[in-house]
Amino acid sequence: MSSEEGVHDVIIIGGGPAGLTAAVYASRSGLDTLVLARQMAGGQAAMTDFIENYPGFPEGISGFDLVDGIKRQAIRFGAQLQEIEAVEGFETGEVKEIKTGDGAYRARSVIVATGVDPKGLGCAGEERFVGRGVSYCATCDGAFFKDKTVAVIGGGNSAVEEALYLTRFAGKVYLVHRRDELRADRVYRDRAEAEPKIDILWTSQLREVRGGDKVESMYVEFTDKGEFRDIKVDGVFFYVGQQPNSHFLNGVVDLDERGFVLTNEELRTSSPGVYAAGDVRANYLKQVVWAAGEGALAVRGVERYLDGT
């Protein structure tokens, strides 16, 4: 399918599993496809140490290797990848224009696959110590804490997976969870509870990150006992939720109350020719396999839109 000069058939915003899978399907179908990816393509999946529930890899696969393979597929079929800092504007119409700090890009259709970012707790000291002991990525920063004591805040799959990963480096890992049972899948719960390096602090909430030039301790409330403890740690990793990367879509497409993109069953947004896929979409399951499936489905919608059907 041909486009007028400087106007792509489809621009895919986001280089995670949803965006890259969409690029594979779109480019393989002959669409002039451009992927705009923030920093290294791959999204959060690329920073996941080990994925063991993606079909076809019975021994598991690193997140980086999985998304790198999808990226290489997309490039082989002719997709173009462009690294950008951030999307600064989005103009709709028959030709859509994506404005970034690196320039403007135009296309007849757009797939938004910008994913989510980890959300902080907002407790005292958190922002002050970012980069000095506070982190949101164990895979990125875990090696800095060899033989040290760290804490992971949260009780879902991401928190427990990252706590287990940190045991490769840290001498001790506290898992701070506000309930009396982890929300993570059973396989992760069992591993965490059996891991001697992990100490789970039940019914507890982080109230403050403390230190001088860097993190030295965390102030924790044990809500069932009404007690507070100052616990020595060298690092604190936050996994307490996610926020969608959808700020540039305010006033462009309909979002839910949390900022996730609303679509119909074909993944079409409220703006003609604009589709959404993956974690940024208001969907039921935030998983790599689900995101990849949505990337493929979004391309089907794009093809129908471009064909006028």
Give the catalytic positions in this structure: 137, 140-141
End-to-end CA distance of the chain: 15
Rounded Cα distance between 33 and 249, Å, is 21
Contacts of 290 (CB under 8 A, 6+ apart): 278, 283
Question: What sign does the CA torsion over 62, 189, 206, 215 have?
Answer: negative
Rounded Cα distance between 134 and 75, Å, is 36
Produce one character per residue of 80-95: b if its CB has 16 or more CB atoms within 10 Å, e if not: ebeebeebeebeeeeb
* Listed residue (242, 258, 246, 247) closest to 137, CA to CA: 242
Assigned token pair, 243: 């926020």
Rounded Cα distance between 248 and 102, Å, is 16
Burial class (CB in 10 A: 0-12, 13-18, 19+), 182: buried
Rounded Cα distance between 103 and 87, Å, is 10
